[in-house]
Structure 1
């Protein structure tokens, strides 16, 4: 893997809602997006789990979730709130951001909830290729990151570990990574400035010219800019419905496929990393 440039094009947030599911399913079928991860605690999880059972040849991870960033669309833990009370606010939903999670979460309750999330995915027939972290919230504190890595060992699954994501959440890479860890060499993801300036597509195209030797990962969030997604992402243009439609349109386009072919880029998925 270190001798050439490999790429995973990965869709986060499957299971979040019907719009996200439809877009993720279609993107997987078109073959450029070749990996996704599923939020098992969200209302539309069952639809995505059913798709995964019926289409086991695609690559599915469990998107471990401890935060809910949306203003009016709320979700919380799989376990009863009474068992993981440090993970929720006064109304029983997950906190909106990493800072609140960092302040309140008890590590033992985090592990208990995340085990329940993984077990729910397994119980519904998902055969996960990896686990990753919604909003990379498990990087909020070192002890939570330890839980994250430990779950990979318990379930014998690769865990999304990457220096760019760790730096984004303020976690010291040197203190929290070891030589035995499987680390994604480079993670690429759009930022709000690209979106505001109408240059997300240009950014994604530039990624294909800036891959590093080893394993590269592009994180995207495909969904449709429809009434459902607009309502969920109200007052939240960062990774909002318009952004997610751009992700879907670009990564299902012939333009994107042609660029991949022209650059002779090798697509892999998390299953390949486990071989």
Structure 2
């Protein structure tokens, strides 16, 4: 859903660009999508919450997207929030084996996105983590209900929580600014002082250095508040689906030594952009082999709320053995609060209900699926 919006947004963004910007973008694409935002030099793998210094930008390898496929690559990159993987690192051993499982085991991470957004979102997320089959969640640090997550984390210290890097504020009547605010990051905020509603205006106005500063501030804030983040992902794919901002995403993963939600290597290889996978690998960044959401799920979308449980049951049946897969959902309790915020209130309740249903756990046991959080990936990454 969010990925589809990102796809439509960037295509529309490119279409509406001025002639000068269009020529500049096409020139960039034809030259191989040479990245304009460099990656940083190696920094400490144990970042301190009080370390607020900005690491200077340094040189980065140029990625080449070959031939006629260059232009198509910019659109295919939009799928990176829905198609995810990290190749096996070194030798013949797979990520599943590196995590201590048998080579043919089916390993699954179930992540609840958008924690911290509102009370209804938080309550459903907590239920899914303690009563259901969810194994991790990611927190939107700019949002107004983050402190409820912080308090819950203190009571549940073993909970695996990541940072849901947030650069958009999509709802009409429920908005938030960035952690650093408009004064420090003016290019990321609209005239009302909030983060932009969607990716397109954010991409149009953003200063890449401000994107980095805001992203770093969000992760630092999570650390300062005691959330002990296990990984990083990205709300609405605002970084993952952009031809150059993915480098900010990579940079933050390296600086904080955290796993990332990544795009499938098959996608980059198909478009002649396998070098992007090499960058993540060189930085020692891990992620699941497969990311399932939206168009990446090999099951037709449910036509009604009543079909949601069967839809997710079929997703479980089609998981790939020998792979670490992440399935992420948006869970919330339907009620006046959520109805005043989001049109997706019924679907978010249905996602919560499926994760907490005894039948779901029984199906996972029947299929022999091994549930993990992002914590084992973080531990493995930090041992390297």
Both proteins in one fold, TM over 0.5: yes
Match of 1:227 in 2: 336
Number of aligned pairs? 265
Which residues in structure 2 correspond to 1:1-275 (within 5 Å)? 1=96, 3=103, 4-163=105-264, 174-178=274-278, 180=281, 181-190=285-294, 194-198=301-305, 199-212=307-320, 213-233=322-342, 236=343, 240-275=344-379
Instruction: Tell me the distance in 2 between the aligned counterparts of 1:80 and 1:70.
Output: 18
* Alpha-carbon offset, residue 274 of structure 1: 2.3
Instruction: Tell me the distance in 2 between the aligned counterparts of 1:274 and 1:94.
Output: 30
Instruction: Tell me the distance in 2 between the aligned counterparts of 1:160 and 1:194.
Output: 22
Instruction: Tell me the distance in 1 between the aligned counterparts of 2:136 and 2:376.
Output: 11
Rg larger for = 2
Q: Is the 8 A contact 2:163 2:219 kept in 1?
A: yes
Instruction: Tell me the distance in 2 between the aligned counterparts of 1:177 and 1:91.
Output: 38
Q: Is the 8 A contact 1:225 1:245 kept in 2?
A: yes
Match of 2:14 in 1: none
Over the aligned positions, Cα root-mean-square deviation in angstroms equals 2.0
**1:75-127 CA distances to partner (integer Å, 9 max, x unpaired)?**
11011302111111111111122222222211100011111111111111111
- Where do 4+ consecutive residues of structure 1 move more than 6 Å? none
Q: Is the 8 A contact 2:111 2:135 kept in 1?
A: yes
Q: Is the 8 A contact 1:11 1:24 kept in 2?
A: yes
Instruction: Tell me the distance in 2 between the aligned counterparts of 1:46 and 1:195.
Output: 34
Instruction: Tell me the distance in 1 between the aligned counterparts of 2:180 and 2:170.
Output: 19
* Alpha-carbon offset, residue 203 of structure 1: 1.7
TM-score, normalised to structure 1's length?
A: 0.90
Q: Is the 8 A contact 2:132 2:357 kept in 1?
A: no
Q: Is the 8 A contact 2:137 2:160 kept in 1?
A: yes
* Alpha-carbon offset, residue 187 of structure 1: 1.5
Question: What are structure 2's unaligned runs of at least 5 residues?
Answer: 1-95, 98-102, 380-384
* Alpha-carbon offset, residue 256 of structure 1: 0.3
* Alpha-carbon offset, residue 72 of structure 1: 1.2
Instruction: Tell me the distance in 1 between the aligned counterparts of 2:339 and 2:134.
Output: 23
Q: Is the 8 A contact 1:195 1:243 kept in 2?
A: no
Instruction: Tell me the distance in 2 between the aligned counterparts of 1:115 and 1:257.
Output: 36
TM-score, normalised to structure 2's length?
A: 0.65
Question: What are structure 1's unaligned runs of at least 5 residues?
Answer: none
Instruction: Tell me the distance in 2 between the aligned counterparts of 1:268 and 1:47.
Output: 24
Instruction: Tell me the distance in 2 between the aligned counterparts of 1:243 and 1:175.
Output: 38
